Amino acid sequence: MLVSKGVEEQWDYLLAGGGLQNTLIALAVLHHRPSARLLLLERDEVLCGNHTWSFHQSDVPLEIWPWLSPAISVQWQGYDVQFPGLERRVQSGYGSLSSRDLAAHTQEIITQSPHARIVTGAEITALADGQVRLADGRRFWGAHVIDGRGPATPPAGFRGGFQKFVGLELTLSSSGLRTTPLLMDATVPQEDGFRFFYVLPLAPDRVLIEDTCFSGNGALDITQGRAEVLAYAERNGYAVDSVTRCESGVLPMPYEMPRAWPRTMPLAVGYRGGFFHPATGYSFPVALRVAAHIAQYAPESPLNADWERLLNHHRNQYHFATILNRLLFTAYAPSERHYIFSRFYQLPEPRIERFYRMDSRLSDKARFFTGWPPRGFSLRGLLKGAATL
């Protein structure tokens, strides 16, 4: 294949969108094939946007650590959760990548690779099998076109709830109060749905605090969210020197499966391809699986029997999560939803880990539905919700 430096170029991999999924694919492919002709196209001036991507260490298969670990910003040996009447230290390791660190590492790896390149400021306007076109008229050809342009506009008639966040990264004037993440502090007023604060001690003088809500509506008031985070920080004794960064988002928590799963080129991956956890909003575990698969089959087509197995597994897990979403949002009043999560956090750790990495077994799924439902359950709400579907 010819690589020309002109306006029209030919590549092995054309990665459309430089967010979480496609940077992981780039790292995985270049780890296994450093000489791959790979082009990463991103419309913004920098890769990876403005996120903190967290994950459970058990999400990461052994063979992935060598190419992932240099991009990880921080890791912890366990985390805490707090609910009314329940405090627990979960021993599972936890970690985070900041957009800045993932972008810098991807940039470094691509710069070192002889036939890989990043083009930023590249607004993609058309994408087809084997071809990508930019707003400025440039065209690129590639054997594998991978569409990782993030969430498409939700389809009309979307049914589901929403996970809403406003997070502030704070610089502290004295050392932070905790060294272990607090994944859910749900001991706060349960307004607008299941509400909790998420606290990540990033460094002795830096903390990320997010106000999160699993709500029936997607309206997010960022100004109010910022004020809530600062008030939480003050109430909990953090000496805030300055706000370094703000991140926010609204993630859909669907009740239904996507109409179709990606089986053709250009291959939709990441959020756009339905590769996220509908009940937690975490993309990381399944994004790793997709990246590892694509790298494993380089340079042949990734659309093979193993891709079908990956899709089947993901579809089953996704389906289970949509049932849980329906249960959460229809059978529980907003102020009672936290009872589901405090029950969840009484499960053994391996079950919790499998749930987050979308690997629940039949026995794990059965466990959710055996015994008395968590407090707050309304059969009437569930039936009413089912009738509107």
Ligand X SMILES: Cc1cc2nc3c(=O)[nH]c(=O)nc-3n(C[C@H](O)[C@H](O)[C@H](O)COP(=O)(O)OP(=O)(O)OC[C@H]3O[C@@H](n4cnc5c(N)ncnc54)[C@H](O)[C@@H]3O)c2cc1C
Quick check: 247 binds ligand X (CB under 6 A)?
yes
How far is it, in rounded angstroms, from Cα 283 to Cα 356?
10
User: Among 78, 93, 130, 150, which residue sits at the site for ligand X (rule: CB under 6 A)?
Assistant: 150
Pick the closer one to ligand X by CB: 22 or 113: 22
Quick check: 101 binds ligand X (CB under 6 A)?
no
User: Among 281, 334, 373, 374, which residue sits at the site for ligand X (rule: CB under 6 A)?
Assistant: 281
Angle at 137 between CA 136 and CA 139, to 5 degrees: 120
User: Among 25, 33, 38, 54, which residue sits at the site for ligand X (rule: CB under 6 A)?
Assistant: 54
Pick the closer one to ligand X by CB: 168 or 328: 168
Quick check: 165 binds ligand X (CB under 6 A)?
yes
Quick check: 25 binds ligand X (CB under 6 A)?
no
Cα distances from 258 to residues 57, 101, 154, 184, 270, in angstroms, run 28, 32, 11, 29, 13
Say if strands 116-119 and 79-83 run parallel, antiparallel, or are unpaired: unpaired
Quick check: 359 binds ligand X (CB under 6 A)?
no
Quick check: 282 binds ligand X (CB under 6 A)?
yes
Quick check: 385 binds ligand X (CB under 6 A)?
no
3-state secondary structure 109-171: HHHHCCCEEEECCCCEEEEECCEEEECCCCEEEEEEEEECCCCCCCCCCCCEEEEEEEEEEEE
What tokens appear for 251 in the block?
């993630």
User: Among 283, 322, 330, 342, which residue sits at the site for ligand X (rule: CB under 6 A)?
Assistant: 283
- Residue whose C-alpha is closest to residue 210's, from 247, 161, 163, 172: 247
Quick check: 317 binds ligand X (CB under 6 A)?
no
Quick check: 318 binds ligand X (CB under 6 A)?
no
Quick check: 53 binds ligand X (CB under 6 A)?
yes
Piece of the chain touching ligand X by CB under 6 A; list 153-161, 271-279, 302-310, 367-375: 271-279
Hey, how many other C-beta atoms are within 10 angstroms of the C-beta on 226?
Answer: 17
Quick check: 124 binds ligand X (CB under 6 A)?
yes
Quick check: 253 binds ligand X (CB under 6 A)?
no
Quick check: 142 binds ligand X (CB under 6 A)?
no
How far is it, in rounded angstroms, from Cα 56 to Cα 75?
9
Quick check: 140 binds ligand X (CB under 6 A)?
no
Cis peptide bond upstream of 299, omega within 30 = yes
Quick check: 274 binds ligand X (CB under 6 A)?
no
Backbone angles phi, psi at 147, to 5 degrees: -95, 100
Pick the closer one to ligand X by CB: 17 or 254: 17
User: Among 14, 18, 27, 314, which residue sits at the site for ligand X (rule: CB under 6 A)?
Assistant: 18
User: Among 44, 192, 336, 359, which residue sits at the site for ligand X (rule: CB under 6 A)?
Assistant: 44
Quick check: 181 binds ligand X (CB under 6 A)?
no
Piece of the chain touching ligand X by CB under 6 A; list 81-89, 180-188, 244-252, 304-312: 244-252
Quick check: 136 binds ligand X (CB under 6 A)?
no
What tokens appear for 383 in the block?
């039936």
Q: Closest approach of Cβ 96 to ligand X, in Å?
A: 7
- Residue whose C-alpha is closest to residue 141's, from 29, 22, 7: 7
Q: Closest approach of Cβ 150 to ligand X, in Å?
A: 3
How far is it, in rounded angstroms, from Cα 43 to Cα 102?
17
Radius of gyration in angstroms for the set of CA atoms belonging to the chain, rounded to a whole number: 21
Quick check: 73 binds ligand X (CB under 6 A)?
no
Sign for the pseudo-dihedral over CA of 20, 53, 306, 311: negative
How far is it, in rounded angstroms, from Cα 327 to Cα 194?
13
Q: Closest approach of Cβ 291 to ligand X, in Å?
A: 10
How far is it, in rounded angstroms, from Cα 231 to Cα 228?
5
Quick check: 21 binds ligand X (CB under 6 A)?
yes
Q: How many residues bind ligand X (CB under 6 A)?
A: 34
Quick check: 110 binds ligand X (CB under 6 A)?
no
Footprint on this chain of ligand X (rule: CB under 6 A): 17-22, 41-44, 49, 51, 53-55, 122-124, 148-150, 165, 247-249, 251, 270-272, 276, 281-284
